[in-house]
Structure formats: C-alpha cells, structure tokens
C-alpha cells in the first residue's frame, strides 16, 4: 500500500464527510457553536464571506427595482394564526416571547421572567416575514399605480431546530427575504423566474457553484405557495442542498391579509405575491462543494482575502523582504485585488498552513532569492501544495486577475463535472431502489416524472431517506431528481 499523504484536515472527506465538514469550519476559523442553543457565532472570516455575498447581490436587487426596508423581528402570534396553512409548515417551532421583564429570582438563582410582566399578546421571533409584510402591503397598496411593489430585507430569522449544524441548519440564520406584489399571475411568475435567474448568475459568476434549476414537486413546495422554484446543488458526498427558492404565492397571502388594489377601470382585484431567499447555508454549500482534505477553497470572487503574501524570513535582509512584499501587496490592491501580507508573529510553515486551511485562492511566497531576482513564487490553492509557479514580479502583478479568474473557472468546471458524473439516469422506482439501496449509491438520480405516480413512491423514498429535489427546467419538467439531501 502507498503511504498516505498527510492532510491538514482529519478526518478526510472519504473517511467521514460530516466530521470533515466541522473540522474545516474550525480550521478556517469561519464560525463556532454559541452558548445559545442551536445558534452559531459567525467569526470575522466567515462573516466577511456573507458581507461579500450581500454586497454584490444587493446591488443586483436594487437594479431590478427592489427597495430594501425593515420590519420588526418580533411577530404577533395572532398573525401566524391567520395563516393556518403557513403554521402547519415550519412556523410552530420558533422562539416564543411571553414576558417583557426579568427580575431577581426569589430562589436566589439569578434572574427569571417577572410573572406580572407576562404579555397578553405573545410574539415569536420571525421564522419568516410573509405575515407582517403582508399586513403592511395591504395598507401600502391602494391602486394599480402602486404596483409592482418590490420589497426586501436583509436580516436574520429563527426557527427552533432540534438537530443543528453550523451554516447548514441553525436556529438563527441570515438571509434576505424578498416580498413582491404584482397585479397579476404573469407579473408574479415573471418575478420568480427573473430572481431565480439572478441567483443562478450569482452562484455561477461569484460562487463557482452550479446545480439544477427547476420547480419543486407539490409535496416539496413552500406552505402557501402555488409554485416553488429552486436551484438544487450537489455536495461532494453526493447529497443535495437547496441553494435558493422563489415562491409564487398566487393570491393565497393576499386573501388572508387583504392585499387588494384598485384596477385601472375602477374595479378591485387581489394582488399576486411572491417571496424568495438565499441564506447563510450557502457558506456551508461552498465548503462542501469546494473544500478538500486540506481545508477550505474559497471561490476567488467572494473570498475575503484573494491573495496572501508570505514573507519567508531567515534573519538575512528581513526588512528588505518585508518591503518587497508590501510593494507587491500595494500593486495588487491598486488593481482591486484583496491582497495582504501576513505580518503576524508566527512561523512561516504555520502561516502557510493557515492560508491553506482558510482556502485563500492565491498564496505568494517571497524569500531572499525572490527579492533579489525580482520574482515571486505563487501557489494556486485549488491546484494543491505542489503547484508552484515562479514569475517575474511585474508579470505576476499584471496577470494576477487572470489567475484568479482561471481559479474561478476551474472551480466551476470541477463542480459541473462532479454534478454531471454523479447524476444517474433511471426509468423506474426499481432503478431508484437498485441505485440507492443499502447506502450503496450516491449522487442524484433522474427519473421520468411518471415515477412520482408509483403507488410505492412515498414509502420507498421515505425508507431510503430520499427526497425529490426538483423537476429540472433542462428537461422541461419531464423528469424529477431524487437524492438524499441536507
């Protein structure tokens, strides 16, 4: 047997994928579990990814005419009662606010909710904001002139989850929630598809992520939606992950919250509403789609830091080397590249491994030889530790954006290739059983939609822990993708 190469992350993906995932998060210093049950603390390096995502996508939403605003984080329980179907879904498990004061516990055990401060109207921390925004829309929309009304908020929401995993499923998570109102079905459907296309553009152009765009089967729709559109991505363990959704809510919420408008001819009509989101789950997806056994690999265009410059100091002209590094960083920054010299008090190999585990796309190493010869040695994180290139400094600086673009393109190509190779074709429920039984098969299986009508479908998929991910557009809704999923 060949000797196993040392990896920065233990266990490897092949050994234990879920544990590898947790270890990558820790090694990259992205986030940690918090003292609040099921909630995460997102550390600076992790939060910077989210900020970069928000910065880009928010501009696109604004170009599309969406207006940001802010609704209260607490929603009166009576609002949830109004939307019974909604409540049947996920809204039951949430954080319920019942009191408005703490007082010293007479038992001497710290603090307790003051019994006389019990609220008559209870609240929940928003699990999503359809209800409170619907209530506002009913007041804000009077006439056809007020339509379309396109609102969005960037915020966190909270759902009380029993089994949590950082980024993938946490009590509190971060997202944007768009809530739009239109005069008719065409407007609402067009909105769902337009935003879905924005998501795909964002995923492919910035996150180096691609999946299957499609429509959910009725069972998998958002409660209260007439249609749910989505992009379904595939992780390196072959499981699916829903990367985003857009919901055509028809007039369901309009009826409940009385969102009406006066038509041009003086009549009255119900609005057609939509909602859509992507969340901090996407950071989890980035890890599970791009990471390797040495840790994270950041897609360059969203990477908090795109280039790290490591000075290799040996006590001989260290100041000169540091100055050379700083000049290179300044030149890269001038080109709009997020570059930084690692000046920390730390051994060079430790810095190198830190950069690897954090997945910084491009690592530049500069020692005395590089400085004297006016060159740099760089390593592409995605190609691994041994892929060193030495180049004249000016040539490197001039080509750095191109190298980052190449990393992006290669990462996206790898993700697409993995998706394609791991999407299997089947014709019947029997094929599904044959592929996934006894945990042998992984990836997605694509079968004709007729398989959904098989009377054993529900029992079989439940038994094998499978879900229908979507009916991909690429097959005009004639097929359905089946997979295990996060």
Taking only Cα atoms into account, the Rg of the chain, rounded to an integer number of angstroms, comes to: 26
Contacting residue, 8, 48, 56, 401, with a second copy by CB under 8 A = 48
State whether residue 104 is helix, strand or coil: strand
Find out whether 285 and 241 touch, Cβ atoms under 8 Å.
yes
Residue 40: count of CB within 10 angstroms of its CB? 23
Strand partners for 169: 165
Find out whether 90 and 133 touch, Cβ atoms under 8 Å.
no
The 10 Å CB-count burial string (b at 16+, else e) for 292-307 is bbbbbbbbbbbbbbbb
Residues of this chain, 108-147, that bind a second copy according to CB under 8 A: 110-113, 117, 121-125, 132, 135-136, 145
- Please report how close the Cβ of residue 73 comes to a second copy at its closest, in angstroms: 6
Assess 42 for contact with a second copy (CB under 8 A).
yes
Assess 313 for contact with a second copy (CB under 8 A).
no
- Please report how close the Cβ of residue 304 comes to a second copy at its closest, in angstroms: 10
Assess 164 for contact with a second copy (CB under 8 A).
no
Assess 316 for contact with a second copy (CB under 8 A).
no
- Considering beta carbons, is residue 99 or 169 the nearer one to a second copy? 99
Assess 47 for contact with a second copy (CB under 8 A).
yes
Assess 75 for contact with a second copy (CB under 8 A).
yes
Contacting residue, 8, 90, 99, 368, with a second copy by CB under 8 A = 99
Contacting residue, 5, 6, 35, 386, with a second copy by CB under 8 A = 35
What the block records as the tokens of 76 is 């009166």
- Considering beta carbons, is residue 135 or 365 the nearer one to a second copy? 135
- Please report how close the Cβ of residue 142 comes to a second copy at its closest, in angstroms: 13
Find out whether 127 and 94 touch, Cβ atoms under 8 Å.
yes
- Please report how close the Cβ of residue 76 comes to a second copy at its closest, in angstroms: 6
Assess 78 for contact with a second copy (CB under 8 A).
yes
Residues of this chain, 322-361, that bind a second copy according to CB under 8 A: 344-345
Contacting residue, 60, 64, 90, 160, with a second copy by CB under 8 A = 160
Strand partners for 292: 295
**N residues, the chain:** 486
Assess 40 for contact with a second copy (CB under 8 A).
yes
Find out whether 310 and 363 touch, Cβ atoms under 8 Å.
yes
Angle between helices 318-334 and 393-421 (to 10 degrees): 60
State whether residue 371 is helix, strand or coil: helix
Find out whether 177 and 188 touch, Cβ atoms under 8 Å.
no
* Contacting positions for a second copy (CB under 8 A): 34-37, 39-44, 46-48, 50-51, 67-81, 87, 91-103, 110-113, 117, 121-125, 132, 135-136, 145, 151, 156, 158, 160, 171-172, 174, 344-345
């Amino acid at each position: 047997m060949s000797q196993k190469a040392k990896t920065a992350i233990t266990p490897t993906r092949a050994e234990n994928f879920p544990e590898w995932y947790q270890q990558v998060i820790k090694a990259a210093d992205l986030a940690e579990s918090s003292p609040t049950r099921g909630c995460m603390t997102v550390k600076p390096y992790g939060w910077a990814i989210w900020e970069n995502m928000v910065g880009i996508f928010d501009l696109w939403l604004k170009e599309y005419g969406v207006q940001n605003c802010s609704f209260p984080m607490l929603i009166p329980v009576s609002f949830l009662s109004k939307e019974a179907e909604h409540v049947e879904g996920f809204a039951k498990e949430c954080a319920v606010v019942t009191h408005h004061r703490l007082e010293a516990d007479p038992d001497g055990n710290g603090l307790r909710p003051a019994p006389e401060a019990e609220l008559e109207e209870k609240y929940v921390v928003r699990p999503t904001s359809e209800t409170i925004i619907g209530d506002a829309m009913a007041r804000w929309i009077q006439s056809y002139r007020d339509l379309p009304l396109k609102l969005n908020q960037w915020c966190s929401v909270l759902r009380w989850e029993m089994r949590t995993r950082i980024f993938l499923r946490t009590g509190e998570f971060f997202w944007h929630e768009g809530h739009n109102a239109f005069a008719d079905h065409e407007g609402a459907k067009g909105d769902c598809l337009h935003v879905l296309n924005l998501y795909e553009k964002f995923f492919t152009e910035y996150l180096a992520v691609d999946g299957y765009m499609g429509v959910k089967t009725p069972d998998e729709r958002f409660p209260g939606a007439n249609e749910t559109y989505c992009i379904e991505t595939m992780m390196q363990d072959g499981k699916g992950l829903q990367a985003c959704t857009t919901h055509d809510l028809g007039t369901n919420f309009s009826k409940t919250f009385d969102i009406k408008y006066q038509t041009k001819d003086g009549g009255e009509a119900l609005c057609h509403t939509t909602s859509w989101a992507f969340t901090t789950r996407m950071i989890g997806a980035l890890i599970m789609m791009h990471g390797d056994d040495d840790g994270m690999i950041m897609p360059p265009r969203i990477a908090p830091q795109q280039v790290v410059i490591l000075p290799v100091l040996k006590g001989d002209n260290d100041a000169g080397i540091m100055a050379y590094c700083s000049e290179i960083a300044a030149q890269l920054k001038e080109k709009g590249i997020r570059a930084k010299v690692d000046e920390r008090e730390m051994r060079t190999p430790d810095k190198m491994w830190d950069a690897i585990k954090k997945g910084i796309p491009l690592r530049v190493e500069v020692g005395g030889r590089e400085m004297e010869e006016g060159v740099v040695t760089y390593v592409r994180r995605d190609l691994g530790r041994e892929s060193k290139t030495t180049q004249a400094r000016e040539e490197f600086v001039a080509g750095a954006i191109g190298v980052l673009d190449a990393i992006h393109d290669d990462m996206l190509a790898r993700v697409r290739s993995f998706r394609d190779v791991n999407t299997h074709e089947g014709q019947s429920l029997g094929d599904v059983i044959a592929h996934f039984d006894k945990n042998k098969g992984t990836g997605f299986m694509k079968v004709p939609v007729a398989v959904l009508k098989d009377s054993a479908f529900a029992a079989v998929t439940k038994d094998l822990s499978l879900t229908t991910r979507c009916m991909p557009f690429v097959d005009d809704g004639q097929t359905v993708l089946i997979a295990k999923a996060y």
